[in-house]
Amino acid sequence: MTDFDADLDVDPALAAAVLEIENHAAGEGWDQPARLYALVATATLVEREPALAALMGLDEASAEGSLTPVEQDQLAPDQPLEVALESIVWPPGVAGCAAVVERLVLPPDADSQIPEDPRSAEEFARDHPDRQEVRIVAGATRAGATYCALRLRAHDDDQSVVGGADLVPGLLHLLGATLEDENEE
């Protein structure tokens, strides 16, 4: 797995939560719908929901400085994750959020060939001989920390997961916007 301790800009609690979600998603296999998670301070969960925390094997010692992912209801299948995120606002008790999405990525030299029309662009990507399927798990916190984990379908093993604080900036920006206090604007 990714060594997030080597990157001083990474929030270790966020990185651990994102990698936990990625591991869970990997266990579910490929071709899954997008998923959204609330990230709750584990200490808060232990304090407010002791029975649930006990079922999860959490106690005060294990809760210190960690985040617990809480999967949300499935997103509408006909709505892209990026569109759904535009209408989501998390309550104050949510310390962060994370999303899982599968996408096709193309080599940089294909950028100039991508059609303007979204449907044509999607077809172009699906049919491109050098496309790669990637699972992206991206997370953000109210404190401004971000972390991503990427797994290519062609290299579907835990040792090949790539992690970093800013691997998918557009998605991270959308996730961060869901955490902004409306009164701050």
Burial of 102 (C-beta count, 10 Å sphere; 0-12/13-18/19+): middle
- 31-53 per-position pLDDT tens digit: 999 999 999 998 887 788 778 77
Q: Is 141 helix (H, G, I), strand (E, B) or coil?
A: strand
Average pLDDT, the chain: 87
Given a cut of 60, whether residue 133 has pLDDT beyond it is yes
Residue of higher predicted confidence among 43 and 148: 148
Whole-structure pTM value? 0.84
- 75-92 per-position pLDDT tens digit: 888 888 989 999 999 999
Quote the pLDDT of residue 60: 62
At 21, list the tokens: 């979600």
State in Å, rounded, how far the first CA of the chain is from the last one. Answer: 38
